[in-house]
Structure 1
Amino acid sequence: MTNDNQSSHTQGRLADEEVIDLQQYWRTLMRNKWGILGFALAITVLTILVVFSMKPVYKATATLLIESQQANVVSIEEVYGLDKSNSEYFLTQFEIIKSRRLAEKVVKKLSLQEHPEFNQEPFLSFNWREMLPFDLPENDDAAGMSAAEVERIALNKFIDGFSARLAIVPIRKTQLVKISFEANDPKLAADVANAIGVAYIESNLEAKLEVTMQASSWLSERLGGLKADVNAAEKALQDFLDAENLVGEEGGTTIANKELELISSKHIEAKRDRLNLESHYNQIQVAKGSVRLYELVPGVLQDRTVQEFKRQLLEVELKRSDLAKRYGSKHPSMIAVQSEVANARNSLNSQIKSVINGIKSDYQAALASERSLEKALARTREGLQVLGRKEYKRKELENEAESKRAVYDTFLQRFNETNATGDLNSANARIIDPAIVPSLPEKPKKKLIIVAAFVASLMFGVVFAFLLEALNNTIQTARDVESKLSATLLGVLPLLKQDKKNPHPSYREFLESNHSSFAESVRTIRTGIVLSALDNPHKVLAVTSTMPDEGKTSVAINMAFALGQMEKVLLIGADMRRPAFNKALGIDKHAIGLSNFVAGTAKLEDCIQHLDEGGIDVLPAGTIPPNPLELLSSQRFSKALRVLEGQYDRIVIDTAPSQSVSDAMVISPLVGGMIYVVKADSTTYQQAKAGIKRLKDVNAPLIGVVLNQVNTKKAAKYYGGDYGGYYDTYGYAEDSKNTA
């Protein structure tokens, strides 16, 4: 259960730390509002002075149209090598407009280096070298340079400043570009903007003319070499034709092909004739000289003469057959018929042999013709192959000559086109909206600058206020006491007005203004002390602080006065180094006191004085000793304190600051409780924490912390919940002595 409570407490504390306290931010701003506003107003006034002392700057703008395609008379782009179809072309033109070369051309054309705007004398001009008591070495940067080089460097610097005033802004999704120039002289701004556009157009035309001239020169040189190449190629072709005896369009190839076709057809016919005769010839060879077998040869059978002789032989044989029926073999008619038959037979045989010989002769002739045609065909084919190789070489030479001729003709055409269009250069841009002299300045935008300066300074003041707040490590609020010092807050004492007559009003405020908020605060602290130990009251109280001047003496005096209203109280001044008691309470500064008693030079009852006004007894510090710490740590002081405890209800001791000396640590074992005083908005929490730690290291009975000299009205206004209504609750806020 305990672990759960601790976990819940830790989570709750972390959640509180993570919450952004907007009210705290607002209070920070309210605490520093006059400083922030004062700083913002000062910066704004300074800005107004600067802005109204600035010269007005006028801006003139000319609009230029850059055409992506031109209506050329002939196609010169191929000679120039320009491709305007891509977006890089426009980007290139924009860079050309912004180029140093173009800017230099405009600077020289308008003589801007001599223009009054660029040759203004400074408001304060003096030779600061003459004011020095010693001589400085001269600048050797220009040593060894010629006048032209120095002039060139000066011109480059001038162009840098000129280009800084020039702005080239293309209009999206168009071919338009805005050329703007800023100058104190409105007419100069318009003249320069227009001059930049004109210079760009002229530069483009000059570039085209230069390219045209270069192209013409280059083409002229190339034409001479190409002409020689064409002549050489044509001569090589003609020499080859002459050497190889090639004539005709294709060098005789057509004739050779026709001859080959003719011989091939003749050879086919001769072969067909030979095949036809060869069958007859083979039959004749099979007959082996037999006339009867010869008669069966188709060529013999088809011969008309043989057929006629056969008819005659048949008629004679028919005649002999008729006569044989009437006559005998011896009959003259039979003999005559036999003679006719024999003659007819002989004639037939002779004709058959003649036909056979003719077939043989035809076959031999056909065979010879076929063989002759085969040889002629082979020769023709070989000749055609040789002619084909020659034709290949001829075509190669002819193609080479034609290609060189075509290149020559192309260059000649481009050369003629370039020369013909050398003076027909059309501009690729034109000014469609020339710059006019502006009537109103472009800058400075005085209202905008003043408002921006006010807002920026205001924001800077806010940031600086938060920075100071973050860097402020003093104890300012009751919350700081608890969170930063981890100590109990007994109460808060307000800051009282001071003047020369009353530099320490808090010493007697409780007595003189018993109903003031200061007095009520003292009573509140008294109540806290009393309630902190009801069962075992703190009879001896020690008051200390971190550093001097935090108001510990004031707290001790007022606490003694407050306790004296209810009890018998003794106030002891134990700060024997810087005693403030005597002056605060109106006691003689040479009066004997604690140091005299502890040193044994005076009796205790002689050292104690009674204050009728406050109703308390006082033991002042006495004579300042050389060794205060030894006196406070002595047995005599300890015994005296025990004796006084028996005589008084409450003893209040004002001791030295804990961070300065060790008096408080020495006294701490002898007291019942210690009050730690911290001056608000002055003591850092590191110092206060270190002082409290020193007391805790010696087990000092620390009751709590009193936050002193708090500007209550300011704290209630700027720290809200920590002080709001704290002093008004009792109805004493009308006290005129509280500070605002």
Structure 2
Amino acid sequence: MDSNRDFTLKQERSLDIFDILTFLWRKKFRIIITAGLLASLGAYYVIHLPKIYVASSILLLSAKDSGLTLPSSLSAITSGEDTRQDTYIEFMRSRQFVQTVVDDLALYNLHEYQQSTDGGYVSEKDYATTKLLNQFSVSKLSNTDMLKITVESLTPSSAAEIANHIGPAFFAYYALINRQKADSKSQWLNDQLNELKNSLSQSEERLLTFLRDNELVNVESQVELAKSEIAGLISQKIHIDRAVAESQGSMVQLATISGGQQDYLQIPAIQNNALIRDLRIRRGQQQLLMEGVTKRYLHKHPKYIAAKAGLEAIDTEFTMLINQLVNGLRSSNETLKARQRQILAQIQETKERHANLGKHSMQISRMQREIESTQHLYEMFLSRLQETEILKDLDDGDDFAIVDSASEPTFPAKPKVVMGIALSVIFSCVFSFGFWLILHLVSDKYTRFKSMLSNLDVPILSMVPRIKQTKANKGKPFALSMHSEGERNYQYFEAIRSLRTGLLVKNNQHKNAVIAVTSIGERDGKSEISTSLADSFSRMEKTLLIDVDLRQPKIGEMFDIDANLPGLTSFLGNKSSFSKCIHAVHSSPLILMPSGPLPPDPLAYISKPRFAAFLHKLRGYYERVVIETPPINTVSDAIAVGKFVDGVIIVCDAEKNEGADLLLALQRVHEAELPLLGVVFNRVKDLRSNMNKRQGLVSRLKRAFGIR
């Protein structure tokens, strides 16, 4: 099955190729005439294009660096041969330089460079400058320091003259630009030097004023002196703090003494006093003397009295000395505290003075750096000014030279007539083929339908041509009228036979005893197709044609059957027997069952189980049953009938219906899962040949291209 499918796909591709070849064969005269006309117009245009002459000259440019370049630190990034050559090219392409060439050669007086009177107003020089800018080019010669100047002109002498003049004019122009740039740079350097000189004087004056206002001579020495002073004061503060701590301890002990002399002796400052120690020794000796006198004498004895008086005198002296020492301790404590506060104040003052000196030192450093930076810039600009003055009079143009002068051209370079005519012929052929192919694809709706159906894998059963009926046969079945008219409707007859043959082939694979014929819309010709197909089958098989279009039936009218005679609705409604509901057709073996009286609800009639059972029984009496149904896009009757048949055929009017309408019909069939046999294109225009002629054309094309 897969091999059969691959064969079908290959066959479709071959047919697509031969369709294009068929189109070429049928439209060959139109394509050839159109291509010939376009090629003739193109050749005429190319031949009558103005002749353009080209002259070239070659210049050798300076390979050394100019003195007016960037500093070395920057030029290392931006310098290079390509950059320098690009600079020269931009100079030559500048409008200002080109205008100097126009003025030197007075090109505005030449007819070629004069403005047309039809255009807007532009001054003569501006117009000539623009024209020359468009007519000359500058290119680099690879791996060299040379440039090629190319000039186009309508006259050979003008092309050579302009090409030879551009080099010397550029040398002079570039030298002028360099001198102007050097003058401008010198002036700028002088201005910068004056500004730096003023800035340097102002910086020095600010430094002197600052030193004078703050009475600063040697800031570094003053800072070191302040550091030494702070260190000495801190050392004194440490000793004072230690003494204050000891004194404060004595004060605490004094505060706890109730008044006894022995308690005062517990204080180290009093206990360690030399006078106290001496008095204590003297008192001990006097007390020993008093104890000896007491043992020997009474209290009224002169020695006893003298010894006691001596002891009392020592105690009085001892008491006075302790009081003096206590008062001395208290006074010393206050003195130490005052000295401590004084040293702290001196330290704070010295620190503030040191901090101010530090700020002054930083300020002086900034001023000095500013002076040094300004001095450095001043010296650098002075050096650059001296270099500029030295290089100012050097002529950089001495390094330029003309390597090859332009000679007057003999033959025009443009246009290339042979190439232009060849391209015109090729373009004309391609355009003519594309134009007629696009026009054919746009106008040939059948081709678009065919492509869409091929993508959806829906077969095209037949193409039925449009035929004109005579007044006598108008409204009659096509099947009967075409037999009476003989060869006149041979194409229609062949299309119906092709449809019948296709269905018979499908019948060998799947039984297609009952076939429903529907259409996309009203008046698409489904009645003509169904009657013609049924008539064609009836000449081979026992065939029944049923009109199930219970909304607008036409088959009975086409065969001159009275509308009041019984038909399908009469049989389904059990009003008439089957034999009374069918009718024979004159001059045809076809059996016909018309619609009968129209019911109020047609869909309810064909949805009954009796209708399905009726179609099932017909398979035993007739070899082929053809059923005409209403349009599938208008009502759902065709979908209801399609549930009970073996195959459905959709009739599409190739001229009236659109692709969206056909796609909607196919979508409804697909959603309802109906057994679709294919599509019949009806009323196809310009179907000029039958299948034999088409096959003959295909055979000739195969032989022409060597395809077997």
TM-score normalised over the length of structure 1: 0.48
Task: Tell me which residue corresponds to 1:451.
Answer: 422
Aligned 8 A contact 2:58 2:402 in 1: yes
Aligned 8 A contact 1:63 1:432 in 2: yes
* Matching residue's letter, 2:167: G
* Matching residue's letter, 1:61: A
Return closer, same or farther for 1:536/1:213 CA change in 2, 3 Å cut-off: closer
- Mapping of 1:537-686 within 5 angstroms? 540-548=514-522, 551-575=525-549, 581=555, 585=558, 587=560, 610-619=584-593, 629=603, 650-669=624-643, 671=645, 673-677=647-651
Aligned 8 A contact 2:445 2:654 in 1: yes
Alpha-carbon distance in 2 for matches of 1:60, 1:720: 59
Alpha-carbon distance in 1 for matches of 2:7, 2:576: 61
> How many residue pairs are counted as aligned between the two chains?
490
Aligned 8 A contact 1:526 1:563 in 2: yes
SS of the counterpart of 1:543? strand
* Matching residue's letter, 1:544: T
Aligned 8 A contact 1:510 1:561 in 2: no
Is 1:28–2:28 an aligned residue pair? Answer: no
- Mapping of 1:25-424 within 5 angstroms? 25=17, 27-28=19-20, 30-31=22-23, 34=27, 40=35, 43-44=38-39, 47-48=42-43, 51=46, 55-66=49-60, 68=62, 89-113=84-108, 116-121=111-116, 159-173=129-143, 176-184=146-154, 187-204=157-174, 206=176
State the Cα deviation string for residues 349-397 of structure 1 (Å, max 9, x = none).
Answer: xxxxxxxxxxxxxxxxxxxxxxxxxxxxxxxxxxxxxxxxxxxxxxxxx
Aligned 8 A contact 2:141 2:148 in 1: yes
Please identify, of 625-634 and 188-197, the stretch whose mean Cα deviation from structure 2 is larger: 625-634
* Matching residue's letter, 1:181: V
Return closer, same or farther for 1:86/1:561 CA change in 2, 3 Å cut-off: closer
- Cα drift, residue 117 of structure 1: 3.9
Alpha-carbon distance in 2 for matches of 1:517, 1:183: 67
* Matching residue's letter, 2:150: S
State the Cα deviation string for residues 4-52 of structure 1 (Å, max 9, x = none).
Answer: x9xxx59x97999899958744643553573766665565455456556
State the Cα deviation string for residues 608-644 of structure 1 (Å, max 9, x = none).
Answer: 6643222334455689998765676689988998998
Alpha-carbon distance in 1 for matches of 2:185, 2:514: 114
* Matching residue's letter, 1:664: A
| Structure (1/2) with the larger helix percentage | 2
- Cα drift, residue 99 of structure 1: 2.7
Aligned 8 A contact 1:68 1:85 in 2: no
* Matching residue's letter, 2:414: K
Alpha-carbon distance in 1 for matches of 2:551, 2:442: 33
Alpha-carbon distance in 2 for matches of 1:19, 1:672: 27
Task: Tell me which residue corresponds to 1:232.
Answer: none
Return closer, same or farther for 1:447/1:557 CA change in 2, 3 Å cut-off: farther
Alpha-carbon distance in 2 for matches of 1:85, 1:700: 80
- Mapping of 1:681-720 within 5 angstroms? 688=662, 690-695=664-669, 697-698=671-672, 700=674, 702=676, 706=680
In structure 2, the gaps of 5 or more residues are 192-381, 700-708
State the Cα deviation string for residues 583-605 of structure 1 (Å, max 9, x = none).
Answer: 8x5749989786996999x9898
- Mapping of 1:491-506 within 5 angstroms? 491-493=461-463, 495=465
* Matching residue's letter, 1:571: L
- Cα drift, residue 56 of structure 1: 0.9
Q: For the pair shown, which has the larger CA radius of gyration, 1 or 2?
A: 1
SS of the counterpart of 1:193? helix
Task: Tell me which residue corresponds to 1:429.
Answer: 401
Return closer, same or farther for 1:642/1:157 CA change in 2, 3 Å cut-off: same
Aligned 8 A contact 1:165 1:181 in 2: yes
TM-score normalised over the length of structure 2: 0.50
- Cα drift, residue 103 of structure 1: 0.5
Task: Tell me which residue corresponds to 1:144.
Answer: none
Return closer, same or farther for 1:172/1:496 CA change in 2, 3 Å cut-off: same
Aligned 8 A contact 1:541 1:653 in 2: yes
SS of the counterpart of 1:555? helix
- Cα drift, residue 180 of structure 1: 2.4
- Cα drift, residue 200 of structure 1: 1.7
- Cα drift, residue 98 of structure 1: 2.4
Alpha-carbon distance in 2 for matches of 1:217, 1:701: 98
Alpha-carbon distance in 2 for matches of 1:163, 1:28: 50
Aligned 8 A contact 2:42 2:424 in 1: yes
Identity of aligned residues (%): 23
- Cα drift, residue 199 of structure 1: 1.6
Alpha-carbon distance in 1 for matches of 2:576, 2:663: 39
- Cα drift, residue 555 of structure 1: 2.6
* Matching residue's letter, 2:172: E
In structure 1, the gaps of 5 or more residues are 71-76, 127-149, 222-406, 726-740
Give the superposed CA RMSD. Answer: 6.3
* Matching residue's letter, 1:451: A
